[in-house]
Amino acid sequence: MRHLLFLHLLGASVWVGGHLVLLFSVLPCALRGRDVQPVRHFEQLYERVGIPALLVQIITGVWLARRWLPHSQWFGDSPIAHLVQAKLVLLALTAALGVHARLALIPKLDAQRLPQLGVHIVLITLTAVAFVWVGSGFRFGGLF
């Protein structure tokens, strides 16, 4: 279990950290200069580690959830079930934002659409941070 948790936390560090760097360092420079290149460059570099990190989180997250709670109880009413449910909702939101970015935002990205991408980056970063918050609930017994 410890190895799974380590891999899960390592993936979370890469996923959340990368989005925080994008939000607080790359995006402000791009918006100030009305230049999409910093975002495109970051995306190109980060995708090589960010997507594998997310996949590691999904695989280890499902594995850890099954160790915490039988699959048949994931949609129950216990505090642990609520955490699993919250993680699944956040995963669905992450997937929706990823598909939207990949299909609608990134291919047509220009200086005029950069603020729309900025909203998207805020949402995906908040979702990533929420993953960490919910994950800490497994240690502390619930969402709040």
Domain chopping of the chain, boundaries? 2-140
pLDDT over 80 (residue 10): yes
pTM of the model: 0.92
Asked whether the CA dihedral 84, 86, 90, 96 is positive or negative, the reply is positive
Task: State residue 142's pLDDT score.
Answer: 78
Torsion over CA: 80, 82, 88, 93 (sign)? negative
Span 32-52, pLDDT tens digits: 999 999 999 999 999 999 999
